């Protein structure tokens, strides 16, 4: 990690909004995210024009499925519809299911490290409330092996992560009541954290442990095996933007702002691994392994190796809680506990907002929302906020280093970034 990449800041939209009900399109969402994000960072149209003349800037758009949700592809070119300053700026769209935002971040940091560009604008976006939940569930099924795992299946992903819950329970011979209680507590924590986040989708919703534990009834219907609605992330319209820069430009930018380079955190480590596409193949491969999701664990280890850090150095985590079972598995992947002991960290308050290793102070995908292509960028933005002390009411006290885990499919594509000053 010799060639440092710095995070200059960013912004996200309000994930509570329904843009279709407002009579607005994906372009309205895109435009607002870009304009607000660049204004928040302080990157002006004139500066973008200047950088473009010198071929020093690129645009990276993370999006999963605008072709189906918005009947639109080629999103990498749409910043030209936001402002004429983007005419001529190289841009492309990147896709890796729910990790689409992270693959855009990875492409951006790679170009910066290679010194192809000095500045990268990374946007993640998804507009999802254009269709019914059943149609949207079918669209999301294409993040799995559609023909084998999703075709003709209503809400395939809750069922896939319900299977993960089953495998975790059986593989580690856990007490079912205690295990399901731990999953309910994950839900409670994320909803509670979301109440502190002014951009979170569920900030005005009610949730407590009793509700999360009462699965299968009218108010918490079963959706996939042992999992119920409270175990699920949200269907969300949303976008997020971050600006990355190499060291030379970050120093130049800091000088213009009248501050120091040390004001901006950098990406200290990263990991990217891909597991077998089908959930069945993942389970078969991991038999006899300590971890049910060994490639998720390896991705974390790769990021630690590149950063020269380990679990004890991380003050705050943002993880991919598309379902409570995915966050449960992440706890041991991070090294907070050994595999099969994750419930102990949950019960002891370790991952709570005031715990030793807080997870998802933003509310995560369950509380803050999950606009699929935006989630990786939103996580990066939230880690940036935490390590710069700008997270407001959901600031983790003393956070210096943060780690984010973003997955696509049933933990198929795995991305991890370590960020800190």
Q: Categorize the per-residue pLDDT at 133 as very low, low, confident or very high, splitting at 50, 70 and 90.
A: very high
The pLDDT score that the predictor gives to residue 119 is: 98
Instruction: Quote the radius of gyration of the chain (alpha carbons, Å).
Output: 20
DSSP one-letter string for 86-125 = GTT--EEEE-BTBTHHHHHHHHHHHHHHTTS-SEEEEEEE
At 391 the three-state DSSP class reads coil
Confidence of residue 3 (pLDDT cuts 50, 70, 90): confident
Both tokens assigned to 113: 């490290």
What does the pLDDT average to over 136-141?
Answer: 96
Q: What is the reported pLDDT for 2?
A: 65
Residue 218: band (very low, low, confident or very high) from pLDDT cuts 50, 70, 90: confident
| pTM of structure | 0.98
Name the DSSP letter for residue 274. E
Question: 107 — phi, psi (to 5°)?
Answer: -60, -40
Domain 5-131+235-257 has CATH 3.40.47.10: yes
3-state secondary structure of 40: helix
Q: How many residues make up the chain in this entry? A: 421
List pLDDT tens digits, range 254-298: 999 999 999 999 999 999 999 999 999 999 999 999 999 999 999
Give the strand pairing for 119-126 and 57-62: parallel
Residue 352, token pair as written in the block? 């709570």
Which DSSP letter does residue 396 get?
A: P
User: Half-sphere exposure (CA, 13 Å, Cβ side) for 320?
Assistant: 32
Contact 309, 401 (CB under 8 A): yes
Listing DSSP states for 45-74 in one string gives HHHHHHHHHTT-EEEEEE-S-HHHHTS---
Q: Phi/psi zone of residue 200: left (φ > 0), alpha (ψ -120 to 50 degrees), beta?
A: beta
pLDDT the model gives residue 58: 98
Question: What is the per-residue pLDDT across 295-333, written as a single tens digit (0 to 9) for each?
Answer: 999 999 999 999 999 999 999 999 999 999 999 999 999
């Amino acid at each position: 990690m010799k060639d440092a990449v710095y995070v200059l800041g960013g912004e996200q939209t309000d994930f509570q909004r329904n843009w279709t009900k407002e009579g607005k399109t994906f372009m309205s969402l895109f435009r607002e995210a870009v304009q607000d994000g660049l204004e928040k960072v302080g990157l002006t149209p004139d500066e973008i024009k200047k950088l473009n003349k010198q071929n020093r800037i690129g645009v990276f758009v993370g999006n999963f499925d605008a072709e189906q949700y918005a009947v639109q592809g080629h999103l990498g070119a749409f910043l030209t519809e936001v402002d004429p300053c983007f005419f001529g700026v190289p841009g492309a769209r990147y896709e890796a299911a729910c990790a689409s935002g992270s693959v855009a971040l990875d492409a951006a940091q790679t170009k910066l490290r290679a010194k192809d560009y000095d500045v990268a604008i990374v946007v993640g976006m998804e507009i999802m409330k254009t269709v019914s939940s059943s149609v949207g569930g079918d669209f999301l099924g294409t993040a799995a092996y559609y023909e084998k795992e999703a075709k003709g299946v209503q809400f395939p992903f809750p069922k896939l992560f319900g299977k993960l819950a089953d495998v975790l329970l059986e593989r580690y011979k856990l007490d079912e009541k205690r295990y399901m209680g731990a999953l309910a507590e994950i839900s409670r924590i994320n909803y509670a954290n979301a109440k502190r986040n002014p951009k979170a989708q569920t900030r005005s919703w009610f949730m407590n442990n009793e509700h999360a534990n009462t699965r299968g009834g009218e108010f918490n219907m079963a959706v996939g095996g042992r999992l119920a609605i409270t175990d699920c992330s949200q269907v969300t319209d949303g976008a997020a933007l971050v600006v990355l820069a190499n060291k030379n430009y970050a120093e130049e930018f800091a000088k213009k702002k009248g501050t120091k380079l040390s004001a901006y955190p950098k990406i200290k480590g990263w990991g990217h691994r891909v597991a077998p596409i089908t959930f069945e193949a993942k389970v078969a491969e991991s038999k006899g392994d300590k971890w049910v999701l060994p490639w998720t664990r390896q991705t974390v280890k790769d990021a630690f190796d590149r950063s020269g850090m380990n679990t004890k150095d991380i003050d705050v985590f943002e993880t991919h809680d598309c379902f409570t079972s995915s966050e449960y598995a992440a706890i041991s992947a991070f090294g907070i506990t050994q595999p099969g002991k994750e419930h102990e960290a949950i019960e002891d308050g370790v991952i709570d907002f005031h715990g030793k290793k807080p997870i998802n102070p933003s509310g995560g995908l369950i509380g803050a929302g999950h606009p699929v292509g935006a989630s990786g960028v939103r996580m990066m933005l939230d880690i940036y906020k935490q390590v710069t002390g700008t997270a407001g009411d959901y600031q983790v006290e003393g956070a210096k280093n943060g780690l984010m885990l973003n997955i696509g499919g049933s933990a198929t594509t795995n991305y991890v970034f370590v960020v800190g000053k």
